[in-house]
Structures are given as C-alpha cells and as structure tokens.
Amino acid sequence: MKIGVLGGTGPAGSAVSARLASVGVEVLLGSRTLEKATEVVDGLTKRWSGHDLSLVPATNEMAARADLVVLATPVEGAVNTVRTLVDELSGKILVSMVNAMVKWGDRFVPLMPYTGSVALALSRVVPATHVAGAFHHLPAGQLGDPDHQLDADVMVFSDLRSVTDEVIGMIDLVPGLRGIDVGGLGSALAVEALTACLVEVNRRYKTHASLRVTGIV
Ligand SMILES: NC(=O)c1ccc[n+]([C@@H]2O[C@H](COP(=O)([O-])OP(=O)(O)OC[C@H]3O[C@@H](n4cnc5c(N)ncnc54)[C@H](OP(=O)(O)O)[C@@H]3O)[C@@H](O)[C@H]2O)c1
C-alpha cells in the first residue's frame, strides 16, 4: 500500500511518514512545495539511517494520489488543503490527525469547530471520501525518534467498520502501537479535544504522555 501525507513536512507528518516507512510502507511525504518535501525527506533519511525507508518527496497533490492519505496540517489549513484535492481523494480513506485546540490564558483548551469536529468539517468538503481519524495523541517527538520504543494505543474513528479496520491494520504494523476502534465520526470531537488535556499533562508533569486503554483482550 502507498500512503500519502498532506503537510508531511511538520513534526507530526514527518514523524508519521518516517515511522510508517520504517515498517515497509511506501510513503509520499507531501508539502505545498516539492523543495520543502525534498529537504525534509533528506533530513529523515539521515536521521533514520540504518532503516530502509521508502520515503518519496511529493507535493500535496501528488501525495493525495496515494491509496490512503493522512492529513497532518494545522487545523487552520486542514479544510482548505483538502478542498483543493476533492478529485484525488475521491473514493479513498483520508485519515485526519488534526487536533483542534487553542491557548486560553496560560492553558490549552479544546477548540470546537462549528461543524462539531475537524473530521466532520472535512467530511463535508470531501463527501465522496471516507474520512477517518487517528494519531491525534502521539507526541511527534517520540513518534519521529528512531531510538524511541513506542508504547501507546491509537484511537481510530470512522463511520465504516471496514475503513476503521484498514486504518487499524496500518497502525498495527508499527511495533508498540495498537489501533483501537473508538466509534464513528461522532466520536471525533472527543478524540480531537482530548489532546488539550494531554498537552496540559505534558506541561504539568514535564513529559510526553500518550494513552493506553485497559480492559481489551
Ligand atoms: N506535533 C504533535 O506532536 C502532534 C501530534 C499529533 C497530532 N498532531 C496534529 O498534527 C497536525 C500537524 O502538526 P504539526 O505540529 O506537524 O504542525 P505544523 O508543523 O504547524 O504544520 C505541518 C505542516 O503543514 C503545512 N502547513 C502549515 N500551515 C498550513 C496551512 N495554513 N495550510 C496548509 N498547509 C499548512 C506545512 O507544510 P508545508 O509548508 O510543507 O506545506 C507544515 O510543515 C496538527 O493538526 C496537530 O494538531 C500534532
């Protein structure tokens, strides 16, 4: 399977790209400019030396032609990025890892889009695309560190069980990660909002917290 990452040059997108490429997934790392994608891929190839990464620099448009596409832009760029790729994304799975939060005073708090969640906003813009969500709670620093042994669950949501299962299958390729089905797009608000709590945990305890769900055998 070939995966495309929109906004793949940031900490989150580059970490997801490198981690998936490290387990044999072919990844098109996307950017608004091919030059920036090329620079980031060069950097990742050096950082992950010793790993045979199948990582190719791409524009977002090229990345959107992959079989499955991950959206890793900031919230303010999410809808407009996807809006320009309606045709490329048609019939495919789009996995949003976009969180919505703002700094309110000295605290991070969830931002509630008027659509209810970022994922629901995306699903309105690309109605012929299966919008899913994953990776919201994984700290990019750890995900992108080849020496870090991951140990986390990844909450996955979509409105189709088969879509969720496909995303979970991709996540489960990565040692130390386990994908968990947390429901449909109606769960997106809770998943996206929870990140603000984790950021506060990180600030309070000076750590990089992620999540494990207990009780699943
Ligand atoms: N950082 C984390 O630990 C983490 C963890 C989980 C989830 N997330 C989520 O993942 C997403 C990306 O996080 P990040 O920290 O990597 O963000 P970022 O560095 O601010 O942005 C990622 C990339 O998106 C592109 N971009 C920036 N502004 C844009 C705009 N207005 N329109 C279109 N593209 C734009 C840029 O790529 P080009 O200039 O190359 O196009 C940038 O390198 C966020 O929604 C975040 O909530 C982050």
Domains along the sequence of the chain with CATH: 2-205 (3.40.50.720)
Identity of the residue numbered 213: V
Ligand 1 close to Cβ of residue 5 (< 6 A) = no
- pLDDT surpassing 90 at residue 94: yes
Q: Which two tokens stand for residue 119?
A: 């994922």
- pLDDT surpassing 90 at residue 217: no
Ligand 1 close to Cβ of residue 89 (< 6 A) = no
- pLDDT surpassing 90 at residue 48: yes
Model confidence band, residue 131 (pLDDT cutoffs 50, 70, 90)? very high
- pLDDT surpassing 90 at residue 205: yes
Distance 184 CA to ligand 1 centre (A): 24
Model confidence band, residue 1 (pLDDT cutoffs 50, 70, 90)? confident
Residue matched to tokens 């605290």: 107
CA contacts within 13 A on the Cβ side of 145: 11
- Which residues lie across from 107 on neighbouring strands? 104
Rounded to a whole number of angstroms, the CA Rg of the chain reads 16
The residue whose C-alpha atom lies closest to atom 47 belonging to ligand 1 is 99
Collapsing DSSP states into helix, strand and coil, what is residue 78? helix
Report the pLDDT value the prediction gives residue 117, as an integer from 0 to 100.
98
Please report which helix (H) or strand (E) contains residue 30, including its range. strand 26-31
* Beta strand pairing call for 101-104 and 152-158: unpaired
Ligand 1 close to Cβ of residue 208 (< 6 A) = no
